Amino acid sequence: AQRPKECTGTYFDRKTMAKLSHVALLSLGILSLVSVAWVYKRSGQPNELSSTLRAKARLTSLSRSGMPIGRQRAHSVSTARPFQRPVEVAPVKPKRKPRMRGALPKIGGGLLLLAGSAGGAHAASKAVEIVVKPTMEEVVLTKVIPSIGTVLSNALYFSFAPGVAAALKAGSLGALNPIPVATQLYSTIAWSIYGLAIKNPFVTASNVPAIILSMWAVASLTPLINDKSQLKSFQNLLVAGSAAVSGLWALLIFFVDPTKHAFVAGLFATAICIILFASPLTAMKSVIEKKDASSIYAPFAIVQTVNCLMWFLYGLKIDDVMIFGPNATGLILAIIQLALLIIFPSKAKATEVDPDSSKGALA
C-alpha cells in the first residue's frame, strides 16, 4: 500500500532517507579524519624548544656514528649557529611517542570502521530477505493435523447437545448423566488456560466454544435433576471445580513464576484428564463382564480415536508433553474400546448414547 503524497508533519520517502543516511555517514568519516589530524598536530612540542630538539638530534646522530662523547660535544658547539648560545645536552634515550599521540590514529580508524559498519547495516537492511518455505511434512504436522484435531474436538464436545435438547423438551433427564457434562466444563476451562499460556491458537480454539456450550448445558440440566443424591453430587462437583479454577488463578498470579505458568496450567489440565479417563475404564469393565459392547457408541469411539491421534502427532511435532502425553493415553483407551466392539458385538442396538462411555483427552 502506497502512502499518500500529502500528509501532516515531515515525511521522507525510503530513497531520501537512504541518501540522507549516506551523507551523514560520510560526514562522520570526514569529521573523524579532520579531528585526528588536528589533535595529532596540536600534540607536538612548542616552538621555543626547537633548538634544543635539534641539538638532541645532532647528538643522537653523532652517537650512532661512533664518535666519542667529548668530540660529540665539541662538534655540537662548533656547528652551532652564530650568536647562539651553545647548549650542553647529555645523551638521551630515544623519546617515546606520547600515548595520546599513538592512540589517536586507532581512534580515528575505529570511528571510520563504525561508520562503515553502520553503512553496511543500512545496505543489508535494504537487501531482499530470503524466506525458507516450510516442507510439506511441517505444513501437515503443524497446520493440517491440528486443524483437523480442532474440528474433531469441537464435534466431540458438541455431541451431547442433542441429548440436552431432548431432555429439556421432555422436562426430564431420562438416561442422561449430568456429571460428565460438568466435568467437561472444567476440562475445557483448564485446556483453554493452557492454550492461552502457551499462546497456541489450535488448543485454545478447541476448547473455548465448548466452554460456552458446557455452561449452557449445566444451567439447563440443573433444574431437571430430581434425584437428591445425584443433585448433591452435581452441586458438589460444580463447587469443587469452581474452587479448583479459582485456586489455579490465584496460584499462577501470586505464587508461581511467570516462566512456569504454562507448566502448572498443563498439570491442572492433565489432572482433569485423569479423572475423565476413569469413565471409559468403568465402561470397559462392564463390557468385559457382560460380554456386550452395546454401551459403547461406535461412531463416537472412532472419532475419539482419530482425534487423539491427531493431537498426539501434533504434540510430538511441537515437543509438548502436556499435549501428546494425555492424548497418548486417550488414544490407547479409544483403541481398546474399538477392540471391544469387535470382540464383543452388541447384542442389542444401543438406543441411548452414553456421553460418559468414550471420554478421553481432548486438547
- Distance separating alpha carbons of residues 336 and 284, to the nearest angstrom: 8
Q: Which amino acid is at 109?
A: G
pLDDT value at residue 351: 40
Q: Phi and psi at residue 340, in whole multiples of 5°?
A: -65, -35
> Cβ(230)–Cβ(222) under 8 Å?
no
The count of other CB atoms within 10 Å of the CB of residue 265 is: 25
pLDDT value at residue 181: 87
Q: Per-residue DSSP letters for 286-355?
A: HHHHHT--TTS-HHHHHHHHHHHHHHHHHHHHHT-HHHHHHHHHHHHHHHHHHHHHHHS--SS---S--T
Classify residue 226 as exposed, middle or buried by CB count within 10 Å of its CB (0-12, 13-18, 19+). Answer: exposed
pLDDT value at residue 204: 95
Q: Which residue's C-alpha cell is 508433553?
A: 321
Report helix, strand or coil for 55.
helix
| Those residues with Cβ within 8 angstroms of residue 241's Cβ, 6 or more apart along the chain or in another chain | 182, 183, 185, 186
- Distance separating alpha carbons of residues 237 and 223, to the nearest angstrom: 16
The count of other CB atoms within 10 Å of the CB of residue 214 is: 24
| Those residues with Cβ within 8 angstroms of residue 75's Cβ, 6 or more apart along the chain or in another chain | 58, 62, 67
Give the distance from CA 24 to its chain's centroid. Answer: 37
Report helix, strand or coil for 360.
coil
Report helix, strand or coil for 56.
helix
Provide the residue-wise pLDDT of the chain in tens; the chain has 363 residues: 444 444 444 444 556 555 555 555 565 566 566 565 655 565 554 444 445 555 555 556 555 555 555 554 554 445 544 444 555 555 555 555 555 555 555 565 565 555 555 555 555 555 445 567 888 888 888 999 999 999 999 998 888 888 899 999 999 888 788 888 888 899 999 999 999 999 999 999 999 999 999 999 999 999 999 888 989 999 999 999 999 999 999 999 999 999 999 999 999 999 888 878 777 777 788 888 888 887 777 888 888 899 999 999 999 999 999 999 999 998 998 899 889 888 888 765 444 444 444 444 556
Report helix, strand or coil for 168.
helix
Length of the chain measured in residues: 363
The count of other CB atoms within 10 Å of the CB of residue 123 is: 12
> Cβ(292)–Cβ(347) under 8 Å?
yes
pLDDT value at residue 276: 80
